[in-house]
Structure formats: structure tokens, C-alpha cells
Amino acid sequence: MKILSVKKIIAVISAAAMALSFAACSDSSETDGGDSSSSAAVYRTVDEIKESGKVEIGVFSDKNPFGYVDNNGEYQGYDVYFAQRIAQDLGVELDLVSVEAANRVEYLTTGKVDIILANFTVTEERAEKVDFALPYMKVALGVVSPEDAVIASVDDLAGKKLIVVKGTTAEQYFTENYPDTELVKYDEYNEAYSALQDGRGDAFSTDNTEVLAWAMQNPGFTVGIESLGNLDTIAPAVTKGNETLLQWINDEITALADEQFFHADYDATLAAVYGDTVDKENLIVEGGIVE
């Protein structure tokens, strides 16, 4: 009987220890992020990035002129130019990571990148999953189509196929506001543009800044709808809860306004594409202030 009591005591102590262990794990995860979704998030602070000597920034590799790989295999574009400056001012090397529209949030929450600069439009839904810094660009939606069959209004899409890229504001906008529109969805921008050129869709919708640039570089196509939906902003994004990096980026964007950095970025990467067709003052957000 005495031995049995000791066993019971040991069992009780073991159970209590296990319960305390689980409670400790639970408390730790709540401290790191709150709910279960945020506790799974992985990120590096500014100090950790500096200590590592490298910052990982997600950009597009197929969205000319904002983020793309040129014929020499080098990343180019408006977002890339900004990413290079961020790395310079952090005092670290830059590791550019190619992302797709639909996996931008995932790449942040799983720690595959520290920052997303992939032409990321700020929306309420996305802001629930990531933290957006101050904006650096203004944008609306546009629709590009063949010159011999121009889509000049949403009404013209009746009975037609509209190409969109998964995970973009264009997909969300038409799904919510024009659910009868037949959407043909692709993962990558290169696939979407190839589909438009091959006639697998009647038009393609994405950011107006991009379709304007693409139509200029591809004879036979025109932007029949130059502005659709709300005027939104594009901003860098970091993992939810990464306060040190968010504050650093906000301070950086504010400081860069003093030298009109984003005007210089435009002149270096976009001016040759748009020429006189786009007023850069209508596109640029300098210092996070939307006018």
C-alpha cells in the first residue's frame, strides 16, 4: 500500500509538471504574438538583420518596370531601386527574393523575407495579416486589351474573359464588385501577359501604372480603362508585430523625402518607360504623405 501511494504521488507530480510545461509554452506564444496565427509568425528585428549582415527583400521578377529580371539576369525596377537603398542604409548586403502576388503574405509570416516591396497595394484585409509601413506610391486599377477590340468600360466585359493574377487587388475588385465577370486566373504576370497575347482572354486587369507601361512596350495593345476602383497606395510590408523594422522603414521613408528619393527613383527606372504620358507627381508619394 505504501508503494502504491508513492506511485500515485509521482503520477500527480508528473501530471502537474506537464501541465505547467504546456502553460509555459502557451504563455510564451501569447507574448510573441497574441493569437495562434500571429504566434506562428517568424521575423527578424532590425538588430538581428544588422548582425546577420544581410536583409532579405521580396520583389517581383516579372513585373516590368517595378520589379523584373533583365536579359543579363539582373533585378531591375522601381521597387528594386528602393530595396537597394534600404540595404545600403541598413549597412548590410541585399538578398532579393522573387515572389508571386499570391504568396507575399506567406513569405513574410514564414520568415522567408524580412520586407515585401513587390508593388504591394494596401488593403484592410491585408493589413490584418501584415504590417504596412508608410506608402511610397499611388495606384488604381487599369485594363489593357487589343487595339482592335478595346475594352473601354466594365460593361464591355459582358460575355468576355478577363485575365487577372491570383492574389491581386484586381482579382478581389472584380470578384466583389462584378461577380458575373468571367475571370481567367494565373499565378504569374508573365503567364497573364502571354495569355492576353495568345488570345486566351479578352483583356487583362492589374495596376494601371503597370498596364500603361506594358502597352507602351507592346504594339497592338492599349489601355482602354486607365483608372478603375479606388485610388490606393503601395507600401512596404513587414511581418505582423515586427515593430522595430516597421519603425525603421517609416523613419527611412520620412528621411528620404528630404532628398526627394522617390523622384530620383522614378527618373532612374520609370521616366524612360512613361515619357510624357504619366505625370510622376500623380504617382509618387514622397515621405509617406499622400496629396
Q: What is this structure's pTM?
A: 0.81
CB environment 80-90: b (16+ within 10 A), e (fewer): bbbbebbbeeb
Residue count of the chain, please give it: 291
Residue 28 has pLDDT above 80, yes or no: no
Query: Contact at 8 Å (CB) between 68 and 75?
Result: yes
Query: Contact at 8 Å (CB) between 194 and 217?
Result: no
Q: Could you give the maximum distance between any two Cα atoms of the chain, in Å?
A: 95
Look at residue 40 in the predicted model and tell me its pLDDT: 62
Average pLDDT, integer, range 67-71 = 96
Average pLDDT, integer, range 100-120 = 96
Look at residue 39 in the predicted model and tell me its pLDDT: 52
Residue 204 has pLDDT above 80, yes or no: yes
pLDDT band of 6, cuts 50, 70, 90: very low
Residue 33 has pLDDT above 50, yes or no: no
CA 9 vs CA 1, 17, 20, 21, 235: distances in Å: 13, 12, 17, 18, 59
Cα 142 from Cα 196, distance rounded (Å): 14
Residue type, 30: E
Task: List pLDDT tens digits, range 122-156.
Answer: 999 999 999 999 999 999 999 999 999 999 999 99
pLDDT band of 278, cuts 50, 70, 90: confident
Task: List pLDDT tens digits, range 249-258.
Answer: 999 999 999 9
